[in-house]
């Protein structure tokens, strides 16, 4: 996979001593929920979270949540909003959050939390586990043995020639006699046709992508296509942006077959990303879908490796 | 603790996860739209996160001079 790394701030460590050990000055940031097993406890022992603080596995009802303390000053509503609107801060937070979740995901099945989920104290975290235990258990069973993979389809339109450029006028050749206005319109039409062709081809590939990927996957979620902007990493226009929940044993075939669909069509690119922790399959909207597959009879205590 | 403090990166993770450096835009698709949304005594409510998200959308999906709208 190409390196799309965006610049990140230099690693900086805030000494743990700067965090109050207890009291109202700190909050608990939660990363992921899993089963209360040794694999998850080991992740907590070996990993640090935001501010370099050690992770804690807070357990309740056979489940455990990975959490670490954060300063209340940075995570109260207004402070957090201000920080998240700075892209470098957001990126640091997102990468540390994903770092913890991904690391846990290489050891066992975890349910990732949405970014910036913060509780007042560990009792409230445990209470959240108790209240959600039925849903968490069912979701974890649904996710076990699976990885999330992303699939994006791009239309790569031919580079547009500015209609008024002398080169394009000269190249009009036999049509030189047409008026400049008409030549301009003809050129615009030709460009539009080329764009339409690229989009038609990409649309056809996107449909094949969905068919092929669905055959492998247990679940599918469509994200909004990515619309350029400062974070865009790819040439061309993103026309579909989907996530699939794929059994680990089919992951390699999934990636290869989908990538090949893009290679087979000029002007279309298919990008496959992953494996991801199952972020796209952890939302309440997917709980109903989770129910469908939950009884497919995997041992819920079976530790699953999500190693690449 | 002041808001000048910086979230520390986890250098051990960089080693463990090796080449797994992902595009921020793909990560934000997942972290801002996915992940379990919890209930209970949250300090930060889901509605607050939604507010944050709206502002971020403007950053993430804005059309820049370098990638103008194709139409």
The CATH number given to whatever domain includes residue A166 is 3.30.70
* pLDDT above 50: residue B46: no
Mutation target vs A (from B2, B6, B66; most A CBs, 10 A cutoff): B6
> Residue A174: pLDDT band by 50, 70, 90 thresholds?
low
Range of the domain at A118: 16-143
A190/A252 same-domain check: yes
DSSP assignment letter at A242: E
Nearest residue, CB atoms, A120 vs list B1, B39, B41: B41
Query: Which range (A106-120, A123-137, A248-262, B8-22) has the least confidence?
Result: B8-22
The verdict on residue B3 lying in a domain is no
A185: Cβ contacts below 8 Å, ≥ 6 apart: none
State the pLDDT at residue B68. 39
Q: Binning pLDDT at 50, 70 and 90, where does residue A10 land?
A: very low
| Domain endpoint, select from A115, A143, A171 | A143
CA dihedral A246, A62, B35, A23 (to 10 degrees): -160
Query: Which segments within A107-211 are labelled E, that is strand?
Result: 110-112, 118-119, 146-155
Whether residues A115 and A171 fall in one domain: no
Number of domains comprising chain A? 2
The domain of B36 spans 11-60
Which band of pLDDT confidence, cut at 50, 70 and 90, is reported for residue A6? very low
Q: Is A136 exposed, middle or buried (0-12, 13-18, 19+ CB in 10 A)?
A: buried
Q: pLDDT tens digit string along A130-159?
A: 988 999 999 999 999 999 999 999 998 765
Place of tokens 């206005």: A181
Is the pLDDT at A121 greater than 50? The verdict is yes
| Contact flag A283-B44 (C-beta cutoff 8 Å) | no
Domain co-membership, A120 together with A165: no
Considering the domain architecture, whether residues A36 and A109 belong to the same structural domain is answered as yes
The span from the first CA to the last CA of chain A, in angstroms, equals 13
**Nearest CB to A115 within list B19, B35, B60:** B35
- What is the count of structural domains for chain B? 1
On whether both A158 and A112 belong to a single domain, the answer is no
User: Going along chain A, which residue ranges are E strands?
Assistant: 26-35, 56-60, 63-71, 110-112, 118-119, 146-155, 219-223, 237-247, 268-276
Closest alpha carbon within chain A to B21: A5
| A286 found inside a domain | no
Check: pTM over 0.95? Answer yes or no.
Answer: no
Contact criterion met (CB < 8 Å) for B41 and A119: yes
- Quick one: pLDDT at residue A114? 85
Write the pLDDT tens digit of every residue in A284-297. Answer: 554 444 333 333 33
Compute the nearest-CA separation of A240 from chain B (Å). Answer: 13
| Residues of B whose CB is below 8 A from A284 | 36-37
Same domain, A60 and A139: yes
Mutate to test the interface with A, among B25, B50, B65, B69 (most CBs of A within 10 A): B25
Closest CB to B35 among A5, A47, A113:
A113
Question: Residue A73 is nearest to which of B1, B39, B63, comparing CB atoms?
Answer: B1
**Structure tokens that stand for A231 in this block:** 């974070």
- Pick from A51, A99, A139: CB nearest B5: A51
Identify all chain A residues contacting B23, using CB atoms and an 8 Å cutoff: 4-6, 231, 233, 273
- Tell me whether residues B52 and A27 touch, CB distance under 8 A: no
Map tokens 């709980």 to a residue: A287
Q: Is residue B70 part of a domain?
A: no
Q: Would A168 be classed as within a structural domain? A: yes
Short-list B52, B1, B46, CA closest to A25: B1
> Model ipTM?
0.75
A138 and A152 housed in the same domain:
no
Distance separating alpha carbons of residues A243 and A258, to the nearest angstrom: 13
Residue A73 forms part of a structural domain: yes
Listed in sequence order, the residues at least 6 apart from A98 whose beta carbon sits closer than 8 Å to its beta carbon are A277, B22, B27, B31
Q: pLDDT at residue A194 above 70? A: yes
Nearest to A33 by CA among A124, A120, A105: A105
Q: Is the pLDDT of residue A229 over 80?
A: no
Q: What confidence tier does A306 reach under pLDDT thresholds 50, 70, 90?
A: very low
Task: Read off the pLDDT of each residue in A33-50 and give the average, rounded to a whole number.
Answer: 96
Q: Is residue A76 part of a domain?
A: yes
**Chain-centroid distance, C-alpha A235:** 19
Query: Of A43 and B24, which is predicted with more confidence?
Result: A43
Give the CA angle between residues A131, A120, A26 to the nearest 5°: 150
CB contact under 8 A, B6 and A92: yes
Show residues of chain B in contact with A106, CB under 8 Å.
Answer: 16-17
Give the C-alpha separation, A146 to A275, whole Å.
Answer: 9
Residue B44 lies in a domain: yes
Contact B40 A128 (CB under 8 A): yes
From chain B, the residues in CB contact with A92 under 8 A are: 6-7, 9
């Amino acid at each position: 996979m190409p390196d799309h790394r965006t610049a990140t701030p230099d690693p900086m460590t805030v000494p743990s001593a700067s965090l109050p050990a207890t009291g109202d000055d700190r909050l608990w940031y939660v990363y992921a929920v899993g089963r209360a097993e040794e694999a998850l406890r080991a992740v907590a022992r070996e990993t640090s979270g935001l501010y370099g603080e050690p992770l804690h596995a807070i357990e309740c009802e056979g489940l455990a949540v990975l959490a670490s303390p954060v300063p209340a000053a940075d995570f109260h509503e207004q402070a957090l909003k201000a920080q998240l609107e700075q892209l470098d801060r957001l990126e640091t937070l997102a990468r540390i959050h994903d770092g913890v979740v991904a690391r846990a995901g290489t050891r066992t099945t975890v349910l990732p939390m949405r970014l910036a989920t913060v509780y007042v104290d560990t009792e409230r975290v445990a209470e959240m586990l108790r209240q959600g235990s039925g849903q968490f258990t069912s979701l974890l069973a649904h996710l076990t043995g699976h990885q999330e993979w992303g699939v994006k389809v791009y239309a790569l339109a031919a580079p547009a020639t500015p209609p008024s450029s002398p080169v394009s006028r000269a190249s009009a050749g036999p049509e030189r006699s047409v008026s400049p206005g008409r030549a301009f319109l003809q050129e615009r039409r030709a460009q539009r046709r080329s764009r339409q062709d690229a989009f038609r081809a990409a649309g056809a590939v996107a449909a094949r992508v969905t068919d092929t990927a669905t055959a492998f996957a247990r679940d599918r979620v469509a994200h909004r296509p990515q619309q350029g902007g400062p974070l865009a990493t790819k040439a061309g226009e993103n026309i579909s942006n989907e996530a699939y929940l794929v059994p680990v044993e089919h992951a390699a075939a999934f990636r290869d077959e989908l990538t090949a669909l893009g290679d087979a069509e000029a002007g279309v690119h298919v990008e496959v990303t992953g494996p991801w922790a199952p972020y796209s399959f952890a939302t309440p909207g997917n709980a109903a879908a989770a129910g469908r597959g939950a009884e497919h009879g995997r041992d819920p205590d079976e530790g699953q490796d999500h190693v690449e | 603790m002041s808001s000048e403090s910086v979230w520390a990166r986890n250098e051990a993770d960089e080693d463990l996860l090796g080449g797994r450096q992902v595009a921020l835009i793909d990560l934000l698709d997942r972290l801002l739209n996915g992940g379990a949304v919890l209930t209970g005594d949250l300090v930060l409510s889901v509605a607050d996160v939604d507010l944050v998200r709206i502002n971020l959308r403007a950053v993430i999906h804005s059309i820049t001079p370098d990638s103008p709208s194709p139409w």
